[in-house]
Amino acid sequence: MSRPMRKSQAVAGVAGAGIVAAGGVAVTARADRPVRAALIAAAAGVAAWAAFAPRNPLFGRVAWRGSVTGERMAITFDDGPSESTPAILDALGDAGARATFFVLGRQARRFPDVIARMAREGHQIANHGDDHGILIFRGPGHVRRQLRLCERAVEDAAGPGAMSGLFRAPHGFRGPATWPAARAAGYRMAGWTTGVFDSAEPGVDVIVARCNPAMRPGSVLLLHDADGWAPERSRPQTAAALPGILALGRERGLEMVTMDELLGTAL
């Protein structure tokens, strides 16, 4: 059986497709109009960059960092919940830390009790869409449906109002319709400061070491508590690494808060 695609492979693959597409524009443009071809190719390249760069504001403003002068940062988890999430919640509870979980609707339907626990224990539940599908080439109707299905699954599990107003697109990839559709549905776009590719399962000690530079005021750390490509898979390495990650924060006097608490009214 083949292994599910890793996040780094997905990022490289989709970004590569965008670069190829941008280059293709120049190739198919008329050879007797080189300036026009160059301008079109440049515009296509900028659009590809905006789609694949999680912090790029061209396709809408994205929250990816809080104040660097305080003593707070945010740890976030994508793609869950899964069988690893209860252990993650245990570690957060033991440390008195709060986190933000960008959940998938399909996973919320599989683990409603875990969603209810997130809400009960004071964590922020945020929208990651329903099925982890890439949104770059999707229209506003599809984006709204992804948001709505996830929101409904969360509120079925944890009650009305359990879903917060943050949305992180799968892989951070956004198309021209993503931000307007999310905003019309009442959501703000969220990114991150540092991702450590824990989804590649490099080992517990490696995950903790990669997080070390990110443990600073205002940082938004991206981790994963499930696998967006394989709904049945969990993230035991991330769960096992979390106590060490939280210890790094304590050593630096950092309070672990939700993204809403970190950002305030920044967006």
Domain edges within the chain: 7-52, 62-263
Q: What are phi and psi of 83, to 5 degrees?
A: -65, -15
Which of 197, 168, 173, 224 is CA-nearest to residue 14?
173
Residues in a beta bridge with 142:
none
Q: Give pLDDT, residue 20.
A: 43
Q: Give pLDDT, residue 31.
A: 52
Q: Is 132 a catalytic residue?
A: no
CA distance readout (Å), 130 to 109, 120, 155, 217: 10, 22, 13, 31
In this structure, CATH architecture of domain 62-263: Alpha-Beta Barrel (3.20)
Mean pLDDT of the chain: 86
178-204 confidence digits (pLDDT tens):
999 999 999 999 999 999 999 999 999
Give burial (CB, 10 Å; 0-12/13-18/19+) of 134: middle
CB atoms within 10 A of CB 43: 12
Which listed residue (123, 128, 171, 224) is catalytic?
Answer: 224
List all residues 6 or more positions away from 100 whose beta carbon is below 8 Å from its beta carbon: 74, 75, 76, 77, 123, 124, 125, 126, 164, 166, 258, 259, 260
Task: Report DSSP state, residue 60.
Answer: S
Q: Is 227 a catalytic residue?
A: no
The ranges of the chain with pLDDT < 70 are 1-59, 265-267
Q: Give pLDDT, residue 60.
A: 79
Q: Give pLDDT, residue 247.
A: 99
